[in-house]
Chains A and B, each alone.
Chain A
Amino acid sequence: MSELLNTLMQDARVWQGHRHRQTTQPSEPTGYQVLDNQLGGIGWPRGALSECLLDAPGIGELHLLLPLMQRLTQAGKTVFWLNPPHTPYAPALAREGVDLGQVVMIHTEDAGDFLWTLENCLRSPVTGLVLAWPGKLATREVRRLQLAAEAGSNVCVLFRERRYAEQNSPAALRLELTPGDNRDLKVNVIKRRGSWPGQRCSLAMAHRADLAFREAPRVVQGPWQHTQR
C-alpha cells in the first residue's frame, strides 16, 4: 500500500495541501477590507463565476457589490442586471454614486435566451460586471457559463438560492449569505479557488438604511400597534 502511495507521490499525481502556494488570479477588491482579508486579499475573481447563495433579498446582498459597481461604472464599464427579481431602484442607485448611464437591465423569456445573453455579455470587452438571477440551473449550464466567463475578464455574480449550497458547482467563488443580528451580513465562504474554504466573517451593513450601529430606533410611536396583525 505504501509503495503505491509512494509511486503516486513521486509522480506528483496527488495534490498535497502543504505545498499549496498563493495563486495569482485577476480580481477586483470587494471594497470590504474584512471580506478581502478572508478571501486571501483577492476579492471578486475576474474571468470566473462567483455565486452568492441567499434565501431572500433585503439582507444587504446588493450592498456587498455596491463598491465594485461604483468603481466599474465610473470607469466606464457597463453593469448588466440580468433577470433581477425586483426593480433595481434608480434613485437609490444614483444616490450611491452608481453611474446609471452604464447600467443596463435585461429581462429574458426563457432559459435558452438567458444563457445566450449571459454568454454574450461576459464575452464583451465593455462589460464590467454581470449580476444574474438564473433561477434553476443545471450543473452543465453552470459549467457553460464558467467557460463563457473565462473567455472574458469580467466579474459575474450569480444569485441563487441557499439550498444549492450543497450541490457542487464549477464557480470559482461561492459565498453563503445570511442575515446577522445587527442588520449585518454574515458571509460564509463555501468555496474559493486556490485555497481552503470555510472562512466566515460579518460585514456591517446597517448603513444601507442610514442606521447607525446599535442605534436606538428612531421611530415616532404611532397607531400601528393596533393594526399589526
Chain B
Amino acid sequence: MLWLYLHFPHLLLDHIRRDREDSRPLVIVEGSGQRVIQACPDARDQGVRAGMRLKTAINLVPELGMVRAQPEQEARILEDQARWLYRYAAHIVLVPPDGLLAEIGSLQKLYGGLPAVWQTVEQALNEHRLTAWIAIGHTPLAARLIARAGKGECTADKGHILRALENMPLVAAEFDGKTCTRLQRLGLNTLGEVFALPAPELARRLSPETLARIQKIQGTRPDPQTPWQPPHSFRQQADFIQEIEHTQGLLFPLQRMLSELEDDLCWRQQDTDSLHLILRHRHEEDTRLRIRTSGPEHRAEAFLNLIRLRLEQQPLRAPVVALVLSVKRFLGRETPTGQDLLGESQDLNEAWHTLMSRLQARLGEQSLKRLSPQADHRPERAWSASEVQQKHKTRLAAPEHLPRRPLWLLQGPQPLTEPPAAWFAGPERISGGWWDGQRVHRDYYIAQLQSGQLAWVFRDVREGWFIHGWFG
C-alpha cells in the first residue's frame, strides 16, 4: 500500500483568502487573540512570522487583517478539502487539524503511474487555490512525517522513503515530549539512529508505545485507518474578514461556491431544485433564504441568476459576516425522453423551467398559480389553484360532461343592483355543502344586464340576487 499525505500549512488562511477581492496582508490569530499562528505571504514579506505577538505584527503592518481561529471551523474546512479529494481517491482519512491521507497504491493503474497521480492532485490543489505539502510513504505515518517536513518526493521506492526518514531529526518525528527528551539524552539525534536500536530493548527501556510508533513508521506493524465517507449533502461556507454591506459583494464568493456545487452535482450525476442560503450577521439573527427552481437544475449560472433576482428583491438587513450554501435535496438526473433529433423538445422543457424559476424568484412562489377543476357542486369550490411545480400533463377524463359554466368567476358573489334586461336560461339549482358547514343553496340563471354583459346570476335562500360570474 502506498499513502499520499497532504499537509496544509495554512488552511484557514487559504480558505479566507480565496473569497476576498482585496489583497491586504492577512494573519490568523490563535483563540485568545495573543499570537499569530499563520501569516499570508504578503504579511511574511513585511516581517510577520508565525508565533509572533499580535501587537508586534500590527506595529509591523498597520493595515493587517486578522481572523481568529476556531477549532470547529477548521474541522469543517478540512472536510471541504476531503470532499474534493474524494473525486480522485476512494480511501481518504482525515487527520485533524490540517492533514489528509489518501491511499494511492491502488490508483496507479487508473491514472497511469505514480507521477500522474501526483500531478492530478497538484493540479486540483492549484484549482482550489490551496497551499499543501505532498508526500508519499509506504505507511500512513511515514507519509505524514515526510509531508510535514516538506520533503515529499514522487517515488514508490521503499528504500528511498526510509532513507528520507532516517535523515529526519528526532524533533520532526512527533514523539511526545518526554520520549523525545529521553531519546535525546541517550545521544540520539536522527530517526535513523532510533531505527537502528534493537526492538526488545526499545520496548523495555522506553515504552511499548514508542516501539509501536516506530514500527508503524517503518511498516512492520499494521496501522489500520478508518476511511472517511462523504456526507450526502452539500455545504459550503465563506467567511469574510470585512463585513459585506452590499449584495454585489456577495455575488463574488457565491459564484465560486455555486461552481463548486455544479462540479459536485456533476460528480454525483444529480440535480437539485432547492438551495438554502444562510447569511450570518454579527449582531442579528441569520437571514435564511430558500431558493427554489421549478425543475431539476445543476448549472451555477442559473442558480446565480435566481439568487441575484432574489437579493435584488430583498435588500440586506445587516452587514454579512459569513455565507453558507447548503443543498440537502438531490434529484436523480432524468434521461431526456421524447427528444427529437435536434433536441428541441428538451430545450423547451428547460426554457419552461428557467422562466418559471425566474418568475418565482422575483414575484414569490405564491404569485404563480395553476388552475384545475375540482369535483364539487359548489361553484366556488369546483376549482382550485396550486403552485406551479413540475410541468405535468393534466388530462381530464371527459371534459364535455362538465356543466356549462361562465369563463369568469367573481372573487365572491356581487349583489345584483339592477333588474336584468333579458333572462335566458334557468333555474339550475345547486344545493350542497351540508357536509362541511359551507352550505350553498342557490338557483342559478343566465341573464343579460342592461350594459350588454352576460351574467351568471343566482338567488339564494335568503332571497338575495347576486352575480357570480361573467360569460366572457
Contact = CB atoms under 8 A, between A and B. Distances in A.
Contact of B452 (A101, A125, A179, A222): A179
Contacts of B355: 120-121, 124, 126-127
Interface string A86-116: 1111111111110111011111110001001
B267 interface: no
A48 interface: no
Contact of A94 (B352, B373, B470): B373
A219 B459 CA distance: 14
B402 interface: yes
A91 B402 contact: yes
A55 B453 CA distance: 10
A33 B457 CA distance: 32
B16 interface: no
Interface string B354-371: 111011001100011111
A71 interface: no
Q: What does DSSP make chain B's interface, helix, strand, loop or mixed?
A: mixed
A58 interface: yes
A104 B367 contact: no
A56 interface: yes
A121 B367 CA distance: 14
Interface string B428-458: 0000000000000001011011011111000
B452 A178 contact: yes
A61 B406 CA distance: 12
Interface stretch (B2-10, B37-45, B105-113, B388-396): B388-396
Interface stretch (A13-21, A143-151, A187-195, A209-217): A209-217
Contact of B405 (A95, A97, A229): A95
A117 B383 CA distance: 25
B453 A97 contact: no
A63 interface: yes
Contacts of A208: 407, 454, 471-472
Interface stretch (B52-60, B274-282, B416-424): B416-424
A179 B453 contact: yes
B383 A58 contact: no
A97 B399 contact: yes
B181 interface: no
B402 A94 contact: yes
Nearest to A221: B423
Query: Which one of A126, A179, A229 has the greatest number of beta carbons of chain B within 10 Å?
Result: A126
A187 to B, nearest CB: 14
B426 interface: yes
B156 to A, nearest CB: 56
Interface of A: 55-63, 66, 76, 78, 85-97, 99-101, 103-109, 113, 116-117, 120-121, 124-127, 178-180, 183, 208-211, 217-220, 222, 224, 227-229
Given A88-B409, A126-B348, 9 more contacts: A94-B396, A94-B402, A99-B394, A124-B355, A179-B451, A209-B454, A210-B425, A222-B443, A229-B417
20 contacts: A58-B449, A60-B472, A61-B472, A85-B408, A88-B407, A90-B373, A92-B405, A93-B407, A94-B373, A99-B394, A109-B367, A117-B359, A121-B359, A180-B452, A208-B454, A209-B454, A211-B425, A211-B446, A218-B424, A218-B426
